[in-house]
Amino acid sequence: MIRHEYLVIGAGPGGLCSGIKLKESGRDDFAILEKASGVGGTWYHNRYPGAACDVPSHLYSFSFDCRADWPRPFSPQAEILSYLEACAEKHGLLPHIRFDTKVEAAMWVDAESLWRVTTRSGEVYEAPILLCALGMFNELNYPEIPGLDSFEGTTFHSARWQHDHDLSGEHVAVIGSAASAVQFVPQIAKQVGQLDLYQRTANWVLPKEDTPFSTEQIEHFRNDPEALRGAREEIFNVLEPVLTLDNEDILAASDKAGREAILQVEDPDLQRRLVPQHPYGCKRPLLSNDYYPTFNRSNVELITDSIERIEPKGVVTTDGKLREADTLILATGFDTTRYLSAIEVVGREGRRLEEEWNDGAYAYLGTVVPNFPNLFMMYGPNTNNGSILEMIESQVAFAMAQIERIETQNLVSLEISQEATDAYNDQLQKDIAGVKAWQADCLGYYRSSSGRIVTQWPHNMTEYANRTRGADPDAFIARERSGA
């Protein structure tokens, strides 16, 4: 049994921010349990060719640790991972991180007022306070296609890229045409013999302003902290009004930019099939400067007929045609709606988080859930909008405020009330229903199986920061230590 005052699950951005703020506040008795062999979370695991962030790097970084030498506005995976690794080292987190430690279960022990966390290797950790930073992009989504297991060639998910597999000259089938495919398809198209891209629904793919920073610009950021903060603030101010999807001029401009980008494709029939049939914003908008030009290559085919089955030699579509392939790449994303229920979590009186979330994940401010005391989530339900690192900072600040309350008021536990949570989520869903673009049918990842949107925050980042700072103390159930 390993005992700490605080436990953190995950060493991605949420876990790192949690650890940094724990240390800053003088709370040094904590461990960060990480299933991978390094920090970074999504940016550790997703190493496919062309992987990059679609939020400008000066904003996709912590406000308290701005990096001056980002090489370009939208940095690739390796640069983001390097930044997160540097944050972990700079802030003294590495001694606290237990790598290759996969958490399988967390249980609240009411008699002892603590969380008992069990790992795959059988280790047991205990702590009164648990901070969970699993996020949305934790569980891979594999398509349910008949015969998938029968394929005789190589198969892998884009989020677990097999870099030791040489695609040179191969006939490659890519299933899925969303975020990861938009980034890696242009890269591998230059290498493979033939690339078949199976598209279920077309996505909005807008160009991005990604000219690399000059040496002079980088030096300016290095030598002038105010200029660096100003660059971050400028991106923030440009992004904020876009997030709410209620500005008709912005929506019209985005629609126009997307349609104009498609004109880079020379074949009129391909242009037609690449035009989204849903309004801009219904699904996650994507950014790329080289996706559409890739369809002008003679070795790239867009296939919009539905897949009927996979056979040992390739993919069969509903028109009965078999297209042979050497390698299948599943660009089918993540099971984004599970959040913390991806592991077994048991709260007060044996309540199981997965059962509590049977109709879809929910939380108060995306961070706390009734009947799960002293537990705080980073990147929890309905917190996805803008720069997640900015949102995470608000979540960690909220968690730290509640931890301070637990300790200064000598509480054994603090949990959000069901009444406050229901009221918050009732209003949240009304606000979500007011976002017109999200009501269209576009097969996105925002909704749980019940049909409720459980991923998106319907307001901007400033509103979220204000809500977390202004949370009502009376919305919580505080249990005092016996004799206090």
pLDDT of res. 484:
47
Same-domain pairing of 127 and 33:
yes
Label residue 441 by pLDDT band (50, 70, 90): confident
Return all residues near 266 (Cβ < 8 A) that are at least 6 apart: 296
Query: What mean pLDDT do residues 41-64 have?
Result: 97
Residue 212 lies in a domain: no
Same-domain pairing of 422 and 374:
yes
Q: DSSP string of 47-114? A: --TT-B-SS-TTTSS-TTS--S--SSSS-BHHHHHHHHHHHHHHTT-GGGEETT--EEEEEEETTTTE
Residue 29 lies in a domain: yes
Task: Please state the domain count of the chain.
Answer: 2
Same-domain pairing of 296 and 412:
no
* pLDDT digits 0-9 by tens, 243-302: 999 999 999 999 999 999 999 999 999 999 999 999 999 999 999 999 999 999 999 999
- What are 407's two structure tokens? 């300790």
Which DSSP symbol is given to 455? S
Label residue 483 by pLDDT band (50, 70, 90): low
- What are 130's two structure tokens? 């648990």
Q: Apex CA 432: angle with CA 282 and CA 369, to 5°?
A: 120
Q: H-helix or E-strand containing 413?
A: strand 411-416
Signed CA dihedral, 163, 168, 172, 176: sign only: positive
Same-domain pairing of 198 and 287:
yes
Return all residues near 26 (Cβ < 8 A) that are at least 6 apart: none
Give 302-305's long-range contacts (Cβ < 8 A, gap of 24+).
302/197, 302/199, 302/270, 302/273, 302/274, 303/196, 303/197, 303/198, 303/199, 304/199, 304/273
* pLDDT digits 0-9 by tens, 149-173: 999 999 999 999 999 999 999 999 9
Same-domain pairing of 116 and 168:
no
Q: Kind of pairing, strands 6-9 and 129-132?
A: parallel
pLDDT of res. 139:
84
Which residue range forms the structural domain that includes residue 125? 2-139+336-480
Same-domain pairing of 175 and 305:
yes
Same-domain pairing of 315 and 368:
no
* pLDDT digits 0-9 by tens, 210-222: 999 999 999 999 9
Euclidean distance between the first and final Cα of the chain, in Å?
Answer: 28
CATH number, domain with residue 306? 3.50.50.60
Same-domain pairing of 392 and 467:
yes
Residue 226 lies in a domain: no
* pLDDT digits 0-9 by tens, 390-412: 999 999 999 999 999 999 999 99
